[in-house]
Structure 1
Amino acid sequence: MSSPSFLQGNSLAARDAKSQIHPYTNLSVHEKEGPLIIESGKGIHVFDEDGKEYIEGLAGLWCTSFGFGEEELINAAIKQMRKLPYYHAFASKSTEPSIRLAEKLLEIAPADFSKVFFVNSGSEANDTVIKLVWYYNNALGRPKKKKIISRQKAYHGVTVAAASLTGLPPLHNDFDLPIQNILHTSCPHYYRFGKDGESEEEFASRMADDLENLILKEGPDTVAAFIAEPVMGAGGVIIPPVTYFEKIQKILKKYDILMIADEVICGFGRTGQMWGSQTYGIKPDILSCAKALSSAYLPIAAVMVSEDIFRGMVKQSEKHGAFAHGYTYSGHPVPAAVAMRTMELMEERNIIAHVQDMSPHFLKRFNALADHPLVGEVRACGLIGAVELVADKKTKRSFDPKFKAGHKAYIAMQEAGVISRAVAGDNMALCPPLIITEAEIDEMFDRFTKGLDVAADMAKKEDWFTG
């Protein structure tokens, strides 16, 4: 971070603090301390303006699956920029890259989807999903069947509707959210919410019962859809309990409720399969994806829908004269070309097999942290995981928020040369580029552990354990 007097000069840090608003940032602290400026990247590493090297342990924001400086993706962008730098998809216009990418997504999809709609981000994808669910039920003559159930601690984006789906209070506080017709059911985090003596499968049954009770309370004729991440990312990397999605989907089918899979983080190999839906037996009617779709090299996201839903959209477009939804950059040919090359590279380099090969060592290094004095739970799948920091291992008591344990651990890890992230409080997440090697996994965890050790020393000196 910059020095306290950084604003006195004309450095990049000073210019940043004077000109930009940063997302998910304490704006008051940022004014005083300024940013960490990342200047370049190569492979799993990034370098700041002073030349210091970091392992990017969160793949940016859960997204840069091929790491930094992948020439194949850079060249795909350059080639398409020279051929056709932009065109839109309005009024029956199209481009070859968007057509090829849509075909590819339908080919590799985890369910029998009919069509693809392109947007620019995961938030826009989930905003679109909400509109499509409402549009579809209007087409079926079900004007009351509009409520969408998400989960506490879920993360589905930050736009008005997508942030309403998100089940994290900071995204609602003083933004006047959530909007109407968005509900939240229980968070399926067994470590935090399982009862004494309750097995993981019994807990999953209780979570399913909670969902069914909410549906019955609201009225099944008013509930249109249920949305879930296969693994809950920003909510703390929460792995679903055994039999959870099997039981949830039985209830959805019972009450004619759509299953929406938010694959924004889990899609494209993160869990060890192409889709998190495949890892956890989810059969979605709608799927949203983004992030690793283009290895985050350019903004692009997509929504895939079943044939039934598409037929409803066709009916409404006939009624109104057009499907009146879309974005200037929907199906932009340059991001689409980069995304298509990303999908090709996944096959050419057998990335899924590589993730499966690396996953056991990744999990071994995560599990080794279970005995660390700050760690209450370790949870991981594929190449995504987190440790939850606690003040008391036996009682699972969390640290008092005033100590900012997660944030201090994050800073300590950054100083040790690994960029992680504190999510949903004191959960320290890792989600490295999928190209990471076993030796790089070891180096990443060595630095991560060094940061944890520094945080543990701070905890003793500052008496974080007082409760």
Structure 2
Amino acid sequence: MSSSNFTQGNSLASRDVRNVIHSYTNLSAHEKTGPLIIETGKGIYVYDDNGKEYIEGLAGLWCTSFGFGEKELIDAATKQMHKLPYYHSFASKSTEPGILLAEKLLEIAPSSDLSKAFFVNSGSEANDTVVKLVWYYNNSKGRPEKKKIISRQKAYHGVTVAAASMTGLPPLHNDFDLPIENITHTSCPHYYRFGLDGESEDEFSTRMAVELEQKILAEGPETVAAFIAEPVMGAGGVIVPPKGYFEKIQAILKKYDILMIADEVICGFGRTGNMWGSETFGIKPDILSCAKALSSAYLPIAAVLVSQEIYGELVRQSEKHGAFAHGYTYSGHPVPAAVALRTLELMEERNILEHVQQVAPLFQKRFNDLQDHPLVGEVRVCGLVGAVEIVADKKTKASFDPSLTLGAKAVAYMQDEGLISRAVAGDNVALCPPLIITEDEINTMFDRFKRGLDRVAADVDENNWRAG
């Protein structure tokens, strides 16, 4: 039951049920329980319509890096609304916020090879655009057969047709008739789940690279255009790459002239302790997509950064066809661009990267302390993002029956304790708090997290679910 005292009358909750389709929600169950209605937010906290406080332990959807109510970002939006509330970037039009934001993004980009920025409105749109750019690029180079994009099982790249196709999670494909043609998937680099007996982490990474090469050869190197990867796989379970993984993968890509696409939608802007996850894991992208914390999620905006070589082919094609015929009504919208620019400025002014590096050791310690919990099989953590995997048997790594939905039960208990977390890819429970979180708040967050896990453990013992 939500905090909204859901009834079948004319309450806000009942009106929601009658009128709103909710993302990633069991719609049948939602009709019976109604929503949790969040009314206000301040710092790392949000408050429901009954005034109950919650730590927003997932920064909304991995995105609200400055927390809630940041006056500087609100003022940036308000100032720009008064000055120019909207304009577009079609037909050689531009605005000051878009120009300055592009300059700033390229200044802080993880590679000097990234030379141009294209603005969109979400991570899904960014990755959908990436697919089109890769295909357009290879057509320009006279390689119409070089179109396949390799993603990974358990990857998450968005929900538009092409982005959801690159996503390696079955629920995003089931009955949506996805994936589309020219999108394929290679193995998930999750050492805990897929490492072989006696295989070291480095050996596992080597095997992942060998499997990728075998897939490229089976598909035909002349048909494979790009490989896309999140530095840390978010919705797939917060999977941190094993030792040496990206170094070995990129060597294979270079061998067969395949573009490296870094999906920095979650990892970008400080989440892993560096500005980019690519810096944390030694990735040198030809294309980079970013979103979410770009504006601390205060307004929708995302970007695709491309190398000068790729941009050169866009220019060539625009000469051929008369225009680069791609773009969105709100691409480079001046108000989100102004907020995003102020967000990046605040990161520097307030030394947010240094703050993350200072508090991350405690965040990681509190996660690692959960390794001894009777339900926890693995702890995965990097910077200020992490998850625990709930298992039925710590020695064999056996999972619980999926029908028990223990990850979801844990999240519900945590919510009752005043913490919003998220179950991802089954029984993995994730935290990804606002980057401004303090050490005291980290301790409070994990105290609530553990109480939620303890309540699930009590249910497991009471119902003897391990025996099933």
1:166 aligns with 2:173: no
Q: CA deviation at 1:7?
A: 3.6
Residue aligning to 1:458: 459
Tell me the distance in 2 between the aligned counterparts of 1:196 and 1:181.
34
Residue aligning to 1:39: 39
Tell me the distance in 2 between the aligned counterparts of 1:409 and 1:458.
10
Tell me the distance in 2 between the aligned counterparts of 1:136 and 1:466.
55
Local SS of the residue matching 2:465: coil
Q: How does 1:1-400 map to 2 (within 5 A)?
A: 1-2=1-2, 6-112=6-112, 113-400=114-401
Residue aligning to 2:411: 410
Q: CA deviation at 1:409?
A: 0.6
Output the amino acid matched with 1:190. Y
Q: 1:12 to 1:108 in 2, by over 3 A?
A: same
State the Cα deviation string for residues 121-176 of structure 1 (Å, max 9, x = none). Answer: 00000000000000000000000000000000000000000000000000000000
Q: CA deviation at 1:463?
A: 2.4
CA contact (8 A) 2:138 2:146 kept: yes
CA contact (8 A) 1:4 1:32 kept: no
Q: CA deviation at 1:2?
A: 3.4
Length-normalised TM-score, structure 1? 0.99
Tell me the distance in 2 between the aligned counterparts of 1:231 and 1:365.
19
Q: CA deviation at 1:4?
A: 11
CA contact (8 A) 2:3 2:37 kept: no
Q: CA deviation at 1:201?
A: 0.2
CA contact (8 A) 2:392 2:466 kept: yes
Unpaired stretches in structure 2, ≥5 consecutive residues: none
Output the amino acid matched with 1:71. K
Tell me the distance in 2 between the aligned counterparts of 1:464 and 1:120.
44
Tell me the distance in 2 between the aligned counterparts of 1:452 and 1:11.
32
**What is the Cα-based RMSD across aligned positions, in Å?**
0.9
Q: CA deviation at 1:249?
A: 0.2
Local SS of the residue matching 1:114: strand
Q: CA deviation at 1:466?
A: 2.4
State the Cα deviation string for residues 24-62 of structure 1 (Å, max 9, x = none). Answer: 000000011000000000000000000000000000000
Output the amino acid matched with 2:356. V
Unpaired stretches in structure 1, ≥5 consecutive residues: none
Residue aligning to 2:446: 445
Figure out how many residues of one structure are paired with residues of the other and give that number: 467
Tell me the distance in 1 between the aligned counterparts of 2:127 and 2:18.
33
Output the amino acid matched with 2:375. L
CA contact (8 A) 2:3 2:36 kept: no
Q: CA deviation at 1:460?
A: 1.4
Tell me the distance in 2 between the aligned counterparts of 1:452 and 1:464.
15
Output the amino acid matched with 1:21. I
Tell me the distance in 2 between the aligned counterparts of 1:277 and 1:168.
23
Local SS of the residue matching 2:423: strand
Local SS of the residue matching 1:10: coil
Tell me the distance in 2 between the aligned counterparts of 1:367 and 1:25.
30
CA contact (8 A) 1:392 1:398 kept: yes
CA contact (8 A) 1:225 1:259 kept: yes
Q: CA deviation at 1:462?
A: 2.4
Q: CA deviation at 1:464?
A: 2.2
Tell me the distance in 1 between the aligned counterparts of 2:213 and 2:8.
59
Q: 1:29 to 1:168 in 2, by over 3 A?
A: same
Local SS of the residue matching 2:304: strand
Tell me the distance in 2 between the aligned counterparts of 1:426 and 1:295.
28
Length-normalised TM-score, structure 2? 0.99
Tell me the distance in 2 between the aligned counterparts of 1:419 and 1:458.
20
Q: CA deviation at 1:3?
A: 8.2
Tell me the distance in 1 between the aligned counterparts of 2:153 and 2:172.
12
